[in-house]
Amino acid sequence: MIKHQHHGLKIGTILIMMLSLACTFGVSSSSSNNLHPLILIPGNGGNQLEAKLTSEYKACNWFCERWYPLVKKKDGWFRLWFDSTVLLAPFTQCFADRMKLHYDTHRDDYYNTPGVHTRVPQFGSTYSLLYLNPRLKHATEYMARLVDSLQQLGYSDGETLFGSPYDFRYGLAAKGHPSQVGSKFLEDLKSLIENASTSNGGKPVILLSHSLGGLFVLQLLNRNPPSWRKKFVKHFIALSAPWGGAMDEMLTFASGNSLGVPLVEPLIVRNEQRSCESNLWLLPNPKVYGNSTPLVITQNRSYSAYDMVDFLKDIGFPEGVYPYETRILPLIENIVAPEVPMTCIIGTGVRTVESLFYKNSDFDEQPEVLYGDGDGTVNMVSLLALQSLWKDEKNQSLEVIKIDGVTHTSILKDEVALGEIVGEINRINSPIQLGLRNFVVNTKMGSDK
């Protein structure tokens, strides 16, 4: 049974602020021992990434070969993401060259450009999730306000609150195919969950993901037995999760995507974006998007989600076909319910890419765009995919909270959204829970569009 609750902007905001204050004051007077440990899993591009270059590295041009980051640690590591020099055209190419992945058909796996070593800083801490570049806090804030809200509830970094950063360029592959980096991340996340539970008296953890992080969490849950899930996972909260991929990725593959970063030329970063394993994973899922609606239209033909192989060939990326067919399609064809209590919090009512129109079948140009509903990045059909896919699941608790006007990333900053997140976590931590509602939709009005 699906219920809709509509609230006015001002009334909804006041109620959520009151709830947040009540939650904050309620926890501040009690011990943090009442809290279930909480782990944050970021989205694509949602944590810092560091790199080091060795003599094996062969730059794409003379400029990139000569230029080495001026701000680097004594051991040679430097910030790869997010580095502000990407805004300058000569450096954009260097950045793309170092971020690029390569697929080896013999290994059946992805790897870095030779001579480029990468790592995520401070796994287990929220440090690299707060700001993508601590020197540019205002411009690169990511989860800082969310973490601050959680700390007001009584959470403490490294004790009850943990971060799980990862190399977001890599994804996962279907069973039978190696995915060394992505699989290693799942192993690390599993260990973090177990250690967080053990260090907090055996309490199961709350998993709070954003965007792509939700896909990793779902895979982790379904790759472990029900007994493990029951013991170690209390609840899974997914923010802005692209369960069925996103149309925005087709624009990324076809013409490059500056992702709103000023001065960046999309075509310069297109090859790097095409190389990312995780971007293939985020292409529109045929079972979610169907074949009745054309997603990309040119003079010669149109492409639905079922035409992805032809689309990849026609945009000039035939090397993406094999990994897409063998590693990605089998991975996304069946989205299994994990039988872990879940809450999805999503933004709605924001213009989101729905169809692309190319006048001359030239994918080097930026297309005309038809917009539809979503959170500005992920389409509504994808955000709500679990409702339709799991409608007959009797053992899966799922609540969906819609917040009008909140975008894919502002959900981590918007005061109404933060109030909903805090309220949900407070409810989960409450000794007397209100009881989970199966497939309930609540609609709120956001304040930060």
Catalytic residues: 211, 375, 408
From the number of C-beta atoms within 10 Å of its C-beta (0-12, 13-18, 19+), residue 125 rates as middle
3-state secondary structure 144-193: HHHHHHHHHCCCCECCCEEECCCCCCCCCCCCCCCCHHHHHHHHHHHHHH
Q: Which residue(s) pair with 103 in the sheet?
A: 110
Give which of 355, 447, 445, 342 is closest to 400, Cα–Cα: 342
Q: Name the DSSP class of 30.
A: S
Distance of alpha carbon 162 from alpha carbon 127, whole angstroms? 9
Question: In which residue are the tokens 């999309």 written?
Answer: 266
Q: Structure tokens of 300?
A: 């010669």
**Do 160 and 192 contact (CB within 8 A), yes or no?**
no
398: β partners: 342
Task: Identify which of 262, 273, 49 has the alpha carbon closest to the alpha carbon of residue 139.
Answer: 262
CB 313 within 8 A of CB 321: yes
The phi, psi pair for 222, rounded to 5°, reads -80, -10
HSE-CB at 125 with a 13 A cutoff on CA atoms is: 8
**Burial (0-12, 13-18, 19+ Cβ within 10 Å), 357:** middle
At what angle are helices 144-152 and 415-429 packed, to 10 degrees? 40
Burial class (CB in 10 A: 0-12, 13-18, 19+), 294: middle
